[in-house]
Every structure is written in C-alpha cells, then in structure tokens.
C-alpha cells in the first residue's frame, strides 16, 4: 500500500501544472518581471495585479503576460490542502 501512495501523489502534483498566456504586441521579448503571487483557499474572491505597462515603460512595449502553476506551486498547494495556493506571474517586454 505504501508503495503506491508516493507515485499517486507525484502524478496528481504533476498533472496540476498549467500556463495561461496573453500575447499583446508580438510573441517574443525579454522577461521584465517575475513574481510569485500568494493566494489562500485556492484564491476564492482574491485578486492580485501587476501593472505591465509600468514594468515595461509603456503599454506599447508589453509583449505578453503569463500566469503559471508550476510544480512547486502545485506541491505547496497540495501540502496545505489548498489553504495556501501560490501562482507565478510573468511580464515580458519588447527588446
């Protein structure tokens, strides 16, 4: 029984990885800002904002924005039963 628990936990954690990307002005650029955003209770009723135009020095210089659930984010969420659920946010700027 113990031999099956660890593989099940790993499969469940790996299956939770996801990325949402919004392309704004093109598709390639350099990373302007990366931030781990903290949410509680799976983020119910919570928002966090990054001003991408301020990061890149103008709205016309923003290339894309991403929100990602990485392996580490999924692991932390699983270990806390969804009480603490972090996400990674990235802003990419034109070169």
pLDDT number for residue 52: 94
Other beta carbons within 10 Å of 11: 10
pLDDT number for residue 87: 92
Look up tokens 């990373």; give the residue: 31
* Closest CA relative to residue 36, chosen from 59, 6, 63, 66: 66
Averages of pLDDT over runs of 10 residues in the chain (95 residues) are: 76 72 89 93 88 94 93 85 91 93
Structure tokens at 9: 């936990």
Query: Domain range holding 83?
Result: 2-93
pLDDT number for residue 28: 85
pLDDT number for residue 70: 86
Cα(44)–Cα(58) distance, integer angstroms: 31
Number of domains in the chain: 1
pLDDT number for residue 4: 82
Q: At what angle do helices 71-79 and 2-15 cross, to 10 degrees?
A: 130
């Amino acid at each position: 029984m113990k031999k099956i628990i660890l593989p099940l936990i790993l499969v469940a954690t790996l299956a939770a990885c996801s990325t949402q990307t919004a392309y704004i002005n093109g598709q390639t650029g350099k990373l302007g800002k990366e931030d781990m955003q903290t949410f509680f209770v799976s983020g119910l009723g919570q928002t966090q904002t990054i001003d991408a135009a301020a990061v890149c020095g103008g709205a016309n210089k923003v290339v894309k924005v991403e929100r990602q659930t990485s392996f580490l984010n999924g692991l932390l969420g699983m270990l806390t039963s969804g009480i603490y659920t972090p996400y990674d946010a990235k802003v990419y700027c034109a070169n």
